[in-house]
Amino acid sequence: MGGRLTRLVANGVAVVVVLASLSLMNACASDTSANKDEGSGEAATEAGSAGAEKGSSLIPQPAIPGDIPVAPDGNRVDLSVPTFSDPTDITNPLFPVSRQDSVLMVGHVDGKPFRTEVTLLPETRIVEWQGKRVETLVSQYTAYLDGRVQEVAYDLYAQADDGAVWYFGEDVADFEDGAIVTKEGTWIAGKDGPAAMIMPANPKVGDAYRTENTPGIAFEEVTVKSVGKTLDGPLGPIEGGLVAEELHMDGKTEGKLFAPGYGEFYTSDASDVEALALAVPTDSLSGTLPTELGTLSNGALDVFDTARTGDWNAASATVEKMSTAWETYRVGEVPKKIQPRMNEALAALTAAVDSRDTAQARQAAIDAAQWSLDLQLQYRPQTEVDLARLDLWAAQVMVDAAAGDAGAVGGDVFALGYIRDRVMNTLNEADATRIDTEFLKLQVATTDGDLAAASDAAGRLRDTLKPLRE
């Protein structure tokens, strides 16, 4: 979760492209049968040890290097062992995981566009901690840097009876050039360290809590700086916001904002920013999908096809219709972080079509379709939008294969696998089998380095998806 803006991606050996989503989830599943000795050999603090010896309900604390300016125990609100009677019903307004189908965040890291998609998965995981088996929700965090998958994590959350939300671990994969290069930062409560409070029930100024508490793997400590703030939300002011400072193991800090109905809302670290753009159902709108949004997404796919065939007159006419539709739609209430990005995407598409640049036009068409789908989240179920996103990533494979970029194709296939995790439970067995069959062929072609075969497989996958996304 937090601190991902500052996580360094280690160099490593490229991993063969496999069915990434399943391997991650299998690893997560095996980790949940955890050892009761959660210290992993780390010494407990004096207070934690004393509490354990006296049979109190204090959580044994790992040792922290003395030069890290952690909060005094008197400020900590996360030292007592919580109880979990209904842990998957997460109602805490400042971290409403069970109430959120999908969250989109945007920003920039190292001067490059940054985007994250956070999706609640339809399954739960059991984690053994403090002699108890706790059922947790599973949330998938997928981060893209400059349009390429950078990090994927499966996060485990549960709410205690007092309303505080606890973090039970994450299974992390960091990417470079289309391959997993490290799983640094992966931890499971009870095996690597204690569960960590991610949000108190009633945070107050001065409260401190560790959102990750496994030094050497992942460590973050949050201190509440102010509460009851009014924040600038996607569609207007949001009252009841929380301002916090997060301390990392290197002694550096970053600012964070949390908003009711949204959860983590804004993170800044020096020049890097991650800000919430849209959350559903919080920002959902009633009514049917506006025709303008359909014109934008369908038009973008049409341009993707006509740019390949070289029918530039048709492409230009389609872009003109898309621009008209956007001019009409943006007069209304559009999420503030998405509107300028849609403006930029349409401008790039117009320029690429005007210059008759096939590769740029196809890429710009994918980008424009992506932002249109984000807006459609306000009207359509998350799973429908993710099916359409699958199609876009298959189209991205075709673009990257044509450019001869094997690394990019590998990353595209990983992205497809992770989005697949979000939607397969909604499909009937026959449709799921057809998708998996074509996806497996795409994986094999990618592993073999056969970009032409990968492009063909991606095209067949798109054909398979077409009746499902219409």
Query: Tell me: the pLDDT tens digits for 195-250?
Result: 999 999 999 999 999 999 999 999 999 999 999 999 999 999 999 999 999 999 99
Distance separating alpha carbons of residues 19 and 21, to the nearest angstrom: 6
- Over residues 168-177, the pLDDT tens digits come to 999 999 999 9
Per-residue pLDDT band at 469 (split at 50, 70, 90): confident
Q: What is the dihedral of CA 428, 429, 432, 434, to 10 degrees?
A: -120
Partners of residue 248 on adjacent β-strands: 220
- Over residues 258-272, the pLDDT tens digits come to 999 999 999 998 789
- Residue of 281, 269, 353, 348 lying closest to 311 (CA atoms): 353
pLDDT at 49 over 60: no
Distance separating alpha carbons of residues 290 and 288, to the nearest angstrom: 6
Q: Which residues, at least 6 apart from 44, have a Cβ–Cβ distance to it below 8 Å?
A: 52, 60, 61, 62, 63
Per-residue pLDDT band at 20 (split at 50, 70, 90): very low
- Residue of 164, 172, 209 lying closest to 188 (CA atoms): 172
Q: What percent of the chain has pLDDT over 70?
A: 88
Distance set, CA 78 to CA 134, 136, 280, 282 (Å): 17, 18, 29, 28
What values do phi and psi take at 132, rounded to 5?
Answer: -120, 150
Residue type, position 249, single letter: M
Quickly count: other Cβ atoms within 10 Å of residue 403's Cβ.
13
Per-residue pLDDT band at 55 (split at 50, 70, 90): very low
Q: Which of 20-29, 398-407, 416-425 bottoms out in mean pLDDT, i.e. has the lowest?
A: 20-29
- The structural domains of the chain, with segments of one domain joined by +, span 20-280, 291-469
- Residue of 380, 366, 347, 355 lying closest to 412 (CA atoms): 366
Residue type, position 413, single letter: V
Distance separating alpha carbons of residues 465 and 58, to the nearest angstrom: 52
- Over residues 118-148, the pLDDT tens digits come to 999 999 999 999 999 999 999 999 999 999 9
Contact between residue 43 and residue 32 where contact means Cβ atoms under 8 Å apart: no
pLDDT at 1: 60
What would you measure as the largest C-alpha separation in the chain, in angstroms? 80
Distance separating alpha carbons of residues 151 and 176, to the nearest angstrom: 9
Q: DSSP secondary-structure letter at 62?
A: B
Distance separating alpha carbons of residues 197 and 213, to the nearest angstrom: 9
pLDDT at 278 over 80: yes
The per-residue b/e assignment along 286-307, b for 16 or more CB within 10 angstroms, e otherwise, is eeeebebbebbbbbbbbbbebb
Q: Which residues, at least 6 apart from 306, have a Cβ–Cβ distance to it below 8 Å?
A: 312, 314, 315, 318
Residue with tokens 């949330």: 139
Token pair for 400 = 């990257």
pTM: 0.88
* Cα 165 to the center of its chain, rounded Å: 18
